[in-house]
A and B are shown apart, each in its own frame.
Chain A
Amino acid sequence: DIQMTQSPSSLSASVGDRVTITCRASQSINTYLNWYQQKPGKAPKLLIYATSSLHSGVPSRFSGSGSGTDFILTISSLEPEDFAIYYCQQSYIIPLTFGGGTKVEI
């Protein structure tokens, strides 16, 4: 199985901050990397697919980059509604594994 490692596991930030979350795959996954946001008591929501494509309706302050084994999710200017847990997921090969999550706190 491909292991997905996110860092940091949690971070504290303020509204307006630029935030970056890293995801590393245990082997190359090309650009088959997706990002999700989950708020307490809610189902996850797709933010970015195929490393850098913004899902419909997702604000442009979210962006993704990377290839191979190293990927980054960037929130350019944190809004109050962005405080949540973020997960990466590889869709290169089955099983489609998730990272452990990054909690973005105030």
Chain B
Amino acid sequence: EVQLVQSGAEVKKPGESLKISCKGSGYTFTNYWIGWVRQMPGKGLEWMGIIHPGDSDSKYSPSVQGRVTISADKSIRTAYLQWDSLEASDTAIYYCARHLTPVTYDALDIWGQGTMVIVSS
């Protein structure tokens, strides 16, 4: 079964760092782009960026560029989303999702279960 399994919920204070993960299984991890999508409380979906685990090529939305880092470790089939200094506005559910077609970034067909991140003093 093709699936993405994300790390568990996090409660952090402003200024703290955080790295959440997304582990792929059931497919050739290095062939498909993986994206990260944010959903703030009660709001819609916001695309944050993508990474190609094969060569770690990454692309970001201008709205998050410089605030988060997307990375991947192909040896353990895991992608990451990382913050060096969290803000209260980072409170959201974060989804990883695999793109449908190898090599290209098109539709997102396999989604992780989501990781809730709460940032509060």
Binding site for B on A (CB under 8 A): 1, 32, 34, 36, 38, 43-46, 49-50, 55, 85, 87, 89, 91, 94-101
Q: Which A residues are CB-close (under 8 A) to B100?
A: 46, 49
**Interface flag for B83 (CB, 8 Å):** no
Do A46 and B109 touch (CB < 8 A)? yes
A94 to B62, CA, bound (A): 10
Q: Please report the C-alpha to C-alpha distance between residue A49 and residue B95 in the assembled complex, in whole angstroms.
A: 19
Interface residue tally for chain B (C-beta within 8 Å): 25
Docked pose: A55 CA to B2 CA in angstroms: 15
Q: When chains A and B are docked, how far (Å) is the Cα of A57 from the Cα of B47? A: 25
Instruction: Give 24 CB contacts A-B under 8 Å.
Output: A36-B45, A38-B45, A43-B97, A43-B111, A44-B37, A44-B95, A45-B111, A46-B108, A46-B109, A49-B106, A55-B107, A87-B45, A89-B45, A91-B105, A91-B107, A94-B61, A95-B47, A95-B62, A95-B63, A96-B47, A98-B46, A99-B44, A100-B44, A101-B45
Q: Across the interface, name the chain A residue whose C-beta is closest to B59.
A: A94
Kindly identify which residue among A1, A32, A94, A101 contacts B44, using a CB–CB cutoff of 8 Å. A101
B114 within 8 A of A: yes
* Chain B 31-54 per-residue mask, 1 if CB under 8 angstroms from chain A, else 0: 000010100000011110110000
The minimal Cβ–Cβ distance linking B97 to chain A, given in whole angstroms, is 8
CA distance A47 to B29 in the complex (A): 23
- A19 and B105 CA atoms in complex are apart in Å by 29
**Contact (Cβ within 8 A) A34 B114:** no
Interface-central residue, A49, A55, A85, A91, by most chain B CB under 10 Å: A91
Distance between A18 CB and nearest chain B CB, rounded to angstroms: 24
Q: Does the CB pair B45–A44 fall under 8 Å?
A: yes
Bound complex: CA of A91 vs CA of B105, how far in Å?
7
